[in-house]
Amino acid sequence: MEHKGFVLWFTGLPCCGKTTVADKVAEILKNKGMKVERLDGDIIRKSLTRDLGFSKEDRDKNIERVTFVAMMLSRNGVAVLPAFVSPYIAARENARNTTTNFIEVYVKCSVEECEKRDVKGMYKKAREGIIKDFTGVDDPYEDPPNPELILETDKETVDESVEKVMDYLNQRGFIPN
Burial of 153 (0-12, 13-18, 19+ CB in 10 A): buried
Read off the pLDDT of residues 88-138 as tens digits, 9 standing for 90 and up: 999 999 999 999 999 999 999 999 999 999 999 999 999 998 988 889 898
47 is catalytic: no
Contacts for 62-66: CB closer than 8 Å, 24+ residues apart: 63/88, 63/91, 63/92, 63/94, 63/95, 64/91, 64/94, 66/39, 66/95
Read off the pLDDT of residues 36-85 as tens digits, 9 standing for 90 and up: 999 988 888 888 888 887 778 888 888 999 999 999 999 999 999 999 99
DSSP 91: H
Q: Which of 47, 55, 74, 86 is catalytic?
A: 86
Read off the pLDDT of residues 147-175 as tens digits, 9 standing for 90 and up: 999 999 999 999 999 999 999 999 999 99
- The domain segmentation of the chain, as residue ranges, is 6-171
Helices (H), 3-118: 18-31, 41-44, 56-74, 89-98, 111-117
Q: CA-CA-CA-CA torsion for 161, 36, 71, 67, nearest 10 degrees?
A: 50
- Continuous segment of H or E residues that includes residue 34: none
Alpha carbon 147 to its chain centroid, in Å, reads 12
CATH architecture for the domain at 6-171: 3-Layer(aba) Sandwich (3.40)
Q: What is the pLDDT of residue 42?
A: 80
**CA terminus-to-terminus distance, the chain:** 11
